[in-house]
Structure formats: C-alpha cells, structure tokens
Amino acid sequence: MAFYSRFYYIFYLSLLMFLLIRLSSAQLSSDYYEKSCPKAIYTIKDAVTNAVAKEHRMGASLLRLHFHDCFVNGCDGSVLLDDTSDFTGEKTAKPNSNSLRGFDLIDTIKSQVEKLCPGIVSCADIIAIAARDSVAILNEVPLGLVQLGGPSWTVQLGRRDSTTASLSSANSDIPSPLMDLTDLITNFANKGFTAKEMVALAGAHTIGQAQCTTFRERVYNETTIDSSLATSLKSNCPSTGGDDSLSALDAATPAIFDNHYFNNLKKNKGILHSDQQLFSGGSTDSQVTTYGTRPITFAADFAKAIVKMGNLSPLTGTNGQIRTNCRKIN
C-alpha cells in the first residue's frame, strides 16, 4: 500500500511539473533576441569556442553550471550571484563549493554582450546558450569531424535573472553523487523528470572530471567497481587527503560528448556511486543498455531532456531583471 501511495505521489507531482513547464516554455522562444540583439548568439558561441579550445574541461563546466542553475528554483541565473547582506548565494553550497566553474567566462561573455546590446540579454540565457554550444563543440572528434548523432538542440530564450539566491535549496535540490537509485528517481521526479529522462541527463557525465572526495567511498569500500579502475583511481585519490584531486568521469573519451559513459556503467566502471546505481540490477538497467548501443537515441533523448530542464520555472515578463553584472543584482 505504501508503494502505491508513493507511486501516485510521484506520478501526480511529475504531471504538475510537466504542466508548469509547458506553461513557462510557452513564454520562451528560440528567436527572442533576433531583433533586439541579433549578434548575441554568435558572440556567445565565439567566446565558448575559444574557451573550450584552450581547455576542454570548460565545456563540461559550463554544462554543469546550467544544470546547477536550473535545479535550484529554476533557470534564473541565481547560481551566479555572490553573497550579499540580504542572502547567502549558492556558490558555497556543498555541491558547488570549490568545484563549480565558468563564472569568469560568463562574466566575460556578459561584458561583450552588454557592449552590443545593453540591458537586453539575461545571464540565465547566456548560461543556457553556453551549455548548448559546449556540447556542440565537444561533439567534434579530432580532425574536426562531427561524430554521428551527437546531441543538438534549439535553446529557448527569454529568461530573466533572479534577484536572490538560495543556499539551502542548492544544498537540498541538487542530487548528490552518493545517492542510491531510489533517491535519484525521487530527486528528478521532484523536478518533473521521468526515470528515462534522468538517465539521459546523467549521460552528461561522458565529459568532465570529478573530485576525489566525491568517489573516495566508492573506490575504497564498494565491491561493484571494476578492480583495475579502482586501482587506477586510488593512485590519484588517497584514502586520506587529496580531496581536490581530479579524475575523468569517462576515462576512455573524456573530451568527447558520446555514449561511452553508458558502456562504462555496464562494466562497473562508473566513477560516482550515483552513476553506477543506474546500472545495478534496478529499473534503469535497460535504459543504460539502450543508450550504450544506440548513440543516436541517446543524443535525441538527451536533447529533449535538456530542453525540458532549460524550461524549469524561468522568470519571464516583468519578473526578475536583466542583470548588468551577473554576479550582483542591479
């Protein structure tokens, strides 16, 4: 009986979130800046392209920045705000502190766009565009060829920026790398996502790096990890100390956005506990298998899921503001 009560709770919560997302997305449009700031999209793309060319990891950082912004009270640029006397920002939340990156690049982009069109383009939209452009760049394999079926999507625009941030929400709403499958499903359902969409979004871990502190427990105490991978990770992640040491989430193709992440999970080579939970004898095993063998399916599902994520509770109309400086309210 408790199972059915929990099932219906998640079902109706997901339905409510879906309706809210549909309502909010109706106020966004892909051509929002076509007349008011036509060069904005290209300016952002050029800046992201140059930054990722210098450091591939920046692409993953910008994608993660988008996720951490949207999962805390919606895609409103709140993650960029510094602390004030009125509120403590989200940068020092446990999931973000000393790990979330890309703030300086967003500042640079904002400065460039402000010179073109003062007070027009929001910080929230810059994050969303930068995330899309990062994935597009990392779809390219060496020699400049684009891998077959890499994710691509049209960014809906017109978000405005929040005038506050929430440290507590950042600590509670962003999923932990230590979560079990049941908690992960509930966490994503609270934002209106199905388990399938959750698995698709988790595929973002095909790029980027993780700090030792996020996978130390798995490496030293879990049995569902490939022994050779554990040995390799231990060399860079001691049992004590070295918390900030980095290891690639996908050691095979760490700088290419592909579906290799899912094949890693099938071999017990997920670095994070939460990643390996997606292929651990549970309800999401089949979806991991599908994405591991069908890269085009993964790319399409990832694109749909991240567009949906980008539509989480945006501020539109007269709500919020267009910040001049992404780090502080006007």
Beta bridge partners of 29: 157
DSSP state of 55: -
* Torsion over CA: 62, 86, 122, 103 (sign): negative
Backbone angles phi, psi at 171, to 5 degrees: -70, -30
Q: Which of 68, 205, 260, 273 is catalytic?
A: 68
Instruction: Give the list of residues 6+ apart from residue 227 with CB closer than 8 angstroms, or none.
Output: none
Residue written as tokens 């290209």? 42
**Distance between alpha carbon 272 and the CA centroid of its chain, in Å?**
15
Buried b (16+ CB within 10 A) or exposed e, 216-232: bebbeeeeebeeebbee
Beta bridge partners of 157: 29
Residues 11 and 192: their CA atoms lie apart, in Å, by 9
Asked if 275 and 282 count as a contact pair (C-beta separation under 8 A), the reply is: no
* Torsion over CA: 315, 316, 317, 321 (sign): positive
**Among 123, 137, 112, which Cα is nearest to 50's?**
137
Residue 68 is a catalytic residue:
yes
| DSSP string across 154-195 | PPPB--BB-S---HHHHHHHSPPTT--HHHHHHHHHTTT--H
Residue written as tokens 């060399």? 235
Q: Which two tokens stand for residue 70?
A: 């949207």
Residues 35 and 291: their CA atoms lie apart, in Å, by 39
Q: Which two tokens stand for residue 224?
A: 């569902």
Cite the active site residues.
68
